[in-house]
């Protein structure tokens, strides 16, 4: 158990809809990262928040957005969903502002299926 | 753009033998490399890392080798155990840059 929790575990929705994925980092960790893993693909870095502020941005679509709240939990919002958005979405956390030498601890993921 | 590539989607080895997982990268600016292990229904877990100032890092049964001129790294597991069966992801980043790039993973099966 990494200490990172993600809800829900599974989500099934239809094209055009909007969903919110939630992540609670390990106690004391200030950085939260979001990743997408599509079928047979590696993890794609989407975005990082540090202590409530956006820190780094990767391959995140404009239809997607995220935020980190004062209690440090984070939400990833996916809108106007398309079939290709079906994937595993992982959240990770690390202690500091995100030096790459920080170990990132991953949650179990949310499996999103868009029908 | 696939800046980190793991060309072998799967690898099968006998228990007790060496497992060698390979990873290639294209971006010469990468200077920090990591391996993560992933079991089904779990998130990836950090295994071992190496900075570009080194060419080898060892942690128990796991050793990572880095060949900067070839832009290649490998993970050696000796001896392999059935519990090592998992998907292994290679990742790379520029130090102090949080845009970590992952390979597609190699599924290792260690047979008893």
**Quick check: B43 and A99 CB within 8 A?**
no
In this prediction, residue B19 carries a pLDDT of 98
Give the mean pLDDT of chain A: 92
Nearest to B32 among A42, A100, A105 (CB): A100
**Is residue A44 over pLDDT 70?**
yes
Tokens 């919110």 map to which residue?
A20
Question: Hey, what are A88's tokens?
Answer: 């595993």
For residue B89, list chain A residues with Cβ-Cβ distance below 8 A.
42-43
Q: Residue A9: is it exposed, middle or buried by C-beta count within 10 angstroms (0-12/13-18/19+)?
A: exposed
Q: Which residue has the higher pLDDT, A63 or B40?
A: A63
Cα–Cα–Cα angle for B101, A81, A61, rounded to 5 degrees: 35
Cα–Cα–Cα angle for B95, B99, B101, rounded to 5 degrees: 95
**Is residue A42 over pLDDT 80?**
no
In this prediction, residue B23 carries a pLDDT of 97
Cα–Cα–Cα angle for B26, B31, B32, rounded to 5 degrees: 110
In this predicted model, what pLDDT tens digit does every residue of B41-50 receive, in sequence order? 889 999 999 9
Name the minimum distance, in Å, from the CA of B75 to any CA of chain A. 17
In this prediction, residue B1 carries a pLDDT of 65
In this predicted model, what pLDDT tens digit does every residue of B66-83 receive, in sequence order? 999 999 999 999 999 999
- Residue A41's pLDDT band (boundaries 50, 70, 90)? confident
- Residue B98's pLDDT band (boundaries 50, 70, 90)? low
Q: Which of A43, A89, A96 to mutate to test the interface with B (most CBs of B within 10 A)?
A: A43
Q: Which of B95, B108, B103 is nearest to B5 (CA)?
A: B103
Average of per-residue pLDDT across B15-37: 95
In this prediction, residue B96 carries a pLDDT of 60
Name the minimum distance, in Å, from the CA of B76 to any CA of chain A. 20
Name the minimum distance, in Å, from the CA of A24 to any CA of chain B. 14
Q: Residue B11: is it exposed, middle or buried by C-beta count within 10 angstroms (0-12/13-18/19+)?
A: middle
In this prediction, residue A102 carries a pLDDT of 73
Average of per-residue pLDDT across A43-50: 91
Cβ-based neighbours of B38, under 8 Å, separated by 6 or more: B44, B45, B86, B87, B88, B89, B105
**Quick check: B46 and A100 CB within 8 A?**
no
In this prediction, residue B26 carries a pLDDT of 95
In this prediction, residue A115 carries a pLDDT of 95
**Quick check: B44 and A107 CB within 8 A?**
no
Name the minimum distance, in Å, from the CA of B66 to any CA of chain A. 16
The 10 Å Cβ neighbour count of residue A31 is 25
Cβ-based neighbours of A111, under 8 Å, separated by 6 or more: A9, A10, A11, A87, A88, A89
Percentage of the residues of chain B whose pLDDT score is greater than 90:
86
In this prediction, residue B97 carries a pLDDT of 61
**Quick check: B95 and A105 CB within 8 A?**
no
């Amino acid at each position: 158990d990494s200490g990172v929790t993600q809800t829900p575990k599974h989500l099934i929705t239809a094209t055009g809809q909007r969903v919110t994925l939630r992540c609670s980092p390990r106690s004391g960790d200030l950085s939260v990262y979001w990743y997408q893993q599509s079928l047979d693909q590696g993890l794609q870095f989407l975005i990082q928040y540090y202590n409530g502020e956006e820190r780094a941005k990767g391959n995140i679509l404009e239809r997607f957005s995220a935020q980190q709240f004062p209690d440090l939990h984070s939400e990833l919002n996916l809108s106007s969903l398309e079939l290709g958005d079906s994937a595993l979405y992982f959240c990770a956390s690390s202690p500091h502002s995100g030096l790459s030498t920080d170990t990132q601890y991953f949650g179990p993921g949310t499996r999103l299926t868009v029908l | 753009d696939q800046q980190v590539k793991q060309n072998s989607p799967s690898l099968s080895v006998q228990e007790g033998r060496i497992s060698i997982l390979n990873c290639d990268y294209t971006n010469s600016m990468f200077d920090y490399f990591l391996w993560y292990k992933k079991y089904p229904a779990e998130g990836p877990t950090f295994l071992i890392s190496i900075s570009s100032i080194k060419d080898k890092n060892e942690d128990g049964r796991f050793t990572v080798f880095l060949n900067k001129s070839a832009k290649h790294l490998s993970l050696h597991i000796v001896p392999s155990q059935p519990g090592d069966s998992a998907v292994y992801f290679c990742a790379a980043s520029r130090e102090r840059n949080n845009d970590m790039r992952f390979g597609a993973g190699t599924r290792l099966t260690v047979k008893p």
